[in-house]
Structure 1
Amino acid sequence: MSVGSKPDNILAYAREIFSNQPFTAFIGAELHSCGSDGVEIYLSIGETLKQQHGFVHGGVLSYMADNAVTFAGGIALGGDAVTSEFKINYLRPAQGSALVARARALHAGKRQSVCQCDVFVICQGVETLCAVAQGTVVAVNS
């Protein structure tokens, strides 16, 4: 799909792209929702995603934020996109049963979008903010 052409079903299009990401499949992330108002990615926390202190590895939190930012930016731009710049702040260690990343586009131009993401850890049904990120997403020419 080229930038500027909107798919008929954004969620179906996003899930197709999501399913073609080998690393995403490897860690077991799921695209829960996707639309013009934002993106939500979910990941169950297993032992293989933790570091030596028992916290979710920072790279996993970064993956969640980066992927959510890229999907939010791609939707805002109307097509395939990649992250060109990204920053994350880790607020607290993530310990719990799952992670959820929620991203939205703050601004979209013709070729780039600036997006923001909050990453929450879920522990005993309670969401706690553990990281925030911001990134610039650029359209990929088809």
Structure 2
Amino acid sequence: MDLELARKILAEQPFSRLLGARITAFGEGTASLELDVREELLQQYGFVHGGVLSYAADNTLTLAAGTVVGSGLITSGFTIDYLRPATGRLLRAHGEVVRAGRTRVVSRCDVVTVDGEGTETLCAVAQGNIAVIEPVAGKG
């Protein structure tokens, strides 16, 4: 799978469009996804909602896997640890493949926020298992 196909697949996900997610790096076992932090993505204390961080980790784990095994993938499970509240202007998730097998890929991901000065703060870490499936006809 190449960057153009990865962006097409992301654009086909209504939830990704709603969040305004974009792929900023893709290839050789790694991938990065970003989205702008805005009020609609916050929880009651003013931090980025954990579900948004989880979304970013989930998609980035799978995107990283796609760089080595192609587009017929689906997350079969992942864990996420929230390290500190997410505040800032930008949310960035960076994933990398740990091991790629025939039917499963293990990936890990760091989720950071970026403030107005460009300083990154690590907010969450995730690791997941990505299942290799048959691509859906007409899709990716």
Whether TM exceeds 0.5 here: the answer is yes
User: Which whole-Å CA distance do the structure 2 matches of 1:74 and 1:137 have between them?
Assistant: 9
TM value normalised by structure 1: 0.91
Q: Please report how far the alpha carbon of residue 72 of structure 1 lies from its aligned counterpart in structure 2 after TM superposition.
A: 1.0
TM value normalised by structure 2: 0.92
- Could you tell me the percent identity over the aligned residues? 45
Q: Residue 132 of structure 1 corresponds to which residue in structure 2?
A: 125
Structure 1: gaps (5+ residues) = 1-6
Contact 2:29 2:68 in 1 (8 A): no
Q: Superposition pairs for residues 52-67 of structure 1, below 5 Å?
A: 52-67=44-59
Q: 1:46 aligns with which of 32, 35, 38?
A: 38
Deviation readout 1:56-90 (Å, 9 max, x if unpaired): 00000000000000111122222320100100000
Runs ≥4 in structure 1, deviation > 6 angstroms?
A: none
Aligned-residue CA RMSD in angstroms? 0.9
User: Which whole-Å CA distance do the structure 2 matches of 1:35 and 1:46 have between them?
Assistant: 28
User: Which whole-Å CA distance do the structure 2 matches of 1:37 and 1:29 have between them?
Assistant: 20
Kindly provide the amino acid, as one letter, of the partner of residue 122 in structure 2. Answer: L
Q: Superposition pairs for residues 98-117 of structure 1, below 5 Å?
A: 98-117=90-109
Number of residue equivalences: 134
